[in-house]
Amino acid sequence: MTKAYFGTDGIRGLVGEAPITPDFVLKLGWACGKVFAAMSHGPGRSRVIIGKDTRISGYMFESALEAGLVAAGVDVSLLGPMPTPAVAYLTRTFSAQAGIVISASHNPYHDNGIKFFSSSGEKLPDSVEQAIEAELARKMVTRDSGNLGKVNRIADAAGRYIEFCKSTVPTGFHLEGMKIVVDCAHGATYHIAPSVFEELGASVTCIGTSPDGININSGVGSTSPEALCQRVKSEGADLGIAFDGDGDRVLFADRNGLLVDGDELLFVIARHAVAGSAGNTGVVGTQMSNLGLEVALGELNIPFARAQVGDRYVKAMMRERGWRLGGESSGHIICEDATSTGDGIVAALQVLVALIEGGESLDQARSHMQKLPQLMINVRCSTAVAPLENEAVAAAVSAAEAELGARGRVLLRPSGTEPLVRVMVEGKDPKEVENMCRKLSAVVEKELV
């Protein structure tokens, strides 16, 4: 069944334009409340937890969601600014019916969105999203005053999540003597991540920890890692860690100021798991994962599989195969031995454990995997499109694939969160990769923009 509002990661768009408007989010809260209340089997009212990142519009949408849920007779617990994975964790620990995050993740401040977690801290199944959309088509009716929901604020949410993050590393593990630069993207990890690493003993230099409502992801964070790379070099740090606006993605910089992406981080974690004989070590990547990851894992006899792009598809394939590790090049990494969803801080800690227990620096650990040259160009389109349905685009892709042959691969896909077509070319020759990617992007821009 086609969904009118939900994309690959909740509902997202430009603030003030449908559906990211206060009136729609009010009704969305009511519709969610109706669905979650119907799903509840326990005594009393259902309870929903709401967290948000640091965007200025978050206050507006928090109030709208709160009002809609209360009108449907659902109790609400407010967390304030909290990383997306923290909301997943706290939804589980408080036995809430669902968790809601107000965030547009790595997008700029003028976008916002609403994403959801089930009571188990996982993304909602399609059936529940469809049920919410069905309620959105109905008239909003407020419960009588005696049956309205109640609202409270969880004051110690940050401390609870900090302790959870620290609990995911082995007993006695510490970061004493390590100098780390931490970039929080002026986002939801600004008051969480520095404390986690400092309390484990690291010397921490912070950037991106002064949110003002509009500077989220602006020139800092995992979408703009240049600031991190430069700061690592100028500080003489051992490494740097960059999160995105809502804290579910992480990238590193090594001591030389060179960026280390999600594919390389997955490899570092998986290689350490093999060295420690840690159970089933299969890894799920995506269609965008670098071929070098697949080759390097193969040399270690670690099974590898590609899912569709999107953490929900990665998670679904992990569950299908019984594997515990998966992720994306963007740094969205799921370490299911530790938590239920992609978590930037938890993934960063798993990398640090691998480095310290393996006795290697990050640049040494990453050197065991050789990435193939890969270039991706985002072509902005006016609406969501299926690029290969265009004859000229499909013909250009076929010609590029024939020219590359066994030397590489081509992938075109529409973004699930923005009106973009992502054009990716990968191969052994960097000049050939760049020329081909730019040529294909020009065709996409001509035909689809």
Residue 354's nearest CA partner among 434, 294, 275 is 275
**d(C-alpha 29, C-alpha 50), whole Å:** 11
- The token duo for 247 is 């804290």
Last residue of a domain, one of 332, 366, 400: 366
The domain boundary, picked from 366, 386, 414, lies at 366
Supply the pLDDT for residue 312.
Answer: 87
**Cis peptide leading into residue 19 (ω within 30°):** yes
pLDDT at 383 over 70: no
Q: Do 260 and 254 meet the contact criterion of CB atoms below 8 Å apart?
A: yes
Q: 187 and 151 in one domain?
A: no
- Long-range contact set of residues 397-406: C-beta below 8 Å, sequence gap at least 24: 397/440, 400/425, 400/436, 400/439, 400/440, 403/436, 404/432, 404/436
With a cut of 70, say whether residue 276 has pLDDT above it.
Answer: no
On whether both 89 and 192 belong to a single domain, the answer is no
Does residue 1 sit within a domain?
no
Average pLDDT of the residues of the chain: 94
202 with 187, same domain: the answer is yes
How many distinct structural domains can be found in the chain? 4
- Residue 417 within any structural domain of the chain: yes
Residue 4 belongs to a domain = no
Q: Any idea what the CATH number is for the domain that residue 413 is in?
A: 3.30.310.50
Answer yes or no: do 121 and 189 share one domain.
no
Query: What whole-number percentage of the chain has pLDDT above 70?
Result: 97
Query: Taking residues 395-414, what's their average pLDDT?
Result: 90
Tell whether 233 is covered by a domain: yes
Asked whether residue 113 is assigned to any structural domain, the reply reads yes
Residues annotated as catalytic are 105
Average pLDDT value for residue range 82-99? 96
Residue 3 lies inside a defined structural domain of this protein: no
CATH classification at residue 352: 3.40.120.10
Are residues 103 and 142 located together in one domain of the fold?
yes
269 and 339 in a single domain? The answer is yes
Which domain range does residue 40 map to? 11-156
Q: What is the pLDDT of residues 100-158, one digit of tens each?
A: 999 999 999 999 999 999 999 998 989 999 999 999 999 999 999 999 999 999 999 99
Tell me, yes or no, whether 64 and 98 share the same domain.
yes
**Residue 60, domain member (yes or no):** yes
Residue 174, in any domain of the structure: yes
| Residue 263 exposed, middle or buried by CB count within 10 Å (0-12, 13-18, 19+) | buried
Model pTM score:
0.90
Are 107 and 418 within 8 A, CB to CB?
yes
Same domain, 278 and 252: no
3-state secondary structure 16-76: CCCCCCHHHHHHHHHHHHHHHHHHCCCCCCCEEEEEECCCCCHHHHHHHHHHHHHHCCCEE
Backbone φ and ψ of 375, nearest 5°: -130, 135
**Do 341 and 297 lie in a common domain?**
yes
> Do residues 275 and 243 share a domain?
no
Residues 174 and 273 placed together within one structural domain of the fold: no
Q: How far apart are CA 310 and CA 395, in angstroms?
A: 27
pLDDT tens readout for residues 294-335: 989 999 999 999 999 888 899 999 999 999 999 999 999 999
**Model confidence pLDDT, tens digit, residues 191-250:** 999 999 999 999 999 999 999 999 999 999 999 999 999 999 999 999 999 999 999 999
On whether both 271 and 253 belong to a single domain, the answer is no
Question: Which of 257, 285, 302 is the last residue in one of the domains?
Answer: 257
